[in-house]
Structures are given as structure tokens and as C-alpha cells.
Amino acid sequence: VSTGPTLELKVTSTPGEIGKAHRALIRFLEDLGVEAETVSAVALLVEEAVVNVFRYGFENEGVHVVHVTLEPHPTHVLLGFQDDGREFDPCSVPPPDLAVPCEDRPIGGLGIHLMRNLADRMEYRRTAGQNHLTLRVPRPGTT
């Protein structure tokens, strides 16, 4: 249960929206004194998670929405993502084979690999026709 401030963002699949979300979350986290390393990881995770939904979650080209929540804690930042795209569990995607030169690896999966490595917890559930993804980003000096 969070007792501190949270940020809720509605990110749509129109150009420029991820940049707008970035600016809002950077301002929010910096105002709370969250360290630059964590801010940078959060910004990247938000882009990766949202882009994944827009790329793989929908059949049609319409404007889609991902609801994002940020919940800073002393030891970590919790990120929540919710969308009504097709069911997709990023936790089920196998990790890439790092022994293969990066440029020869299949396209895709890179974003999820970054998510797995920057977050120390990644949880997915599907309820009431919605995807819910939670990522926990550790803050430095707290592990």
C-alpha cells in the first residue's frame, strides 16, 4: 500500500506521447529527489512497456491507450501498466541467446530483455479483459 505521492499517466499511441510522458515522469521523480540513475531506468522501462503494447497488443491502427502509474518508495519505484490489448505476458518471452552476436539475433525481445534486467520484479496478470503489468525498479544503495 502506497502512502506517498503517485503519478498517473494516460499514454496514447499518437506521436510525441511517449516524450510527453517522459517529461512528466522526470519532473515528478526529480521533485521527489529520486536519483538520476533510477529516473533514467524508469523512463526507459515506461517506453519499452508502452511500445510493446502498441506494437503487439492491437490488430487495428486506431488510437490506443496504456494507463501508467508510478509509485515511488524509499527502496524502489513501482510501475504499473494497464491496457485492453490482446493478452500478452512479457514474462513468458524467453531471454535472448547472448552468445549469438547481437546484430544477428532475431528482431524483438530486446525491450523485454531490458525490462527484465532493469527491474528486479516483473509480474503479469490478465483480469477482466485487461493486461496488468507491474515492474519494480530498485533504487541504488537499497539492495
Q: How far is the CB of 75 from another protein (least distance, A)?
A: 20
Q: Are 90 and 112 in contact (CB under 8 A)?
A: yes
Among 31, 98, 106, 128, binds another protein (CB under 8 A): 98
User: Cβ closer to another protein: 1 or 102?
Assistant: 102
Q: Where in 41-70 is the site for another protein (CB under 8 A)?
A: 41, 43-44, 47-48, 51
User: Cβ closer to another protein: 1 or 98?
Assistant: 98
| Residues in CB range of 42: below 8 A, 6 or more apart | 25, 29, 34, 70, 77, 79, 137
Nearest to 26 by CA among 15, 40, 12: 40
Q: Are 51 and 110 in contact (CB under 8 A)?
A: no
Residues that bind another protein (CB under 8 A): 15-16, 18-19, 36-37, 40-41, 43-44, 47-48, 51, 98, 102-104, 107, 110-111, 113-114, 117-118
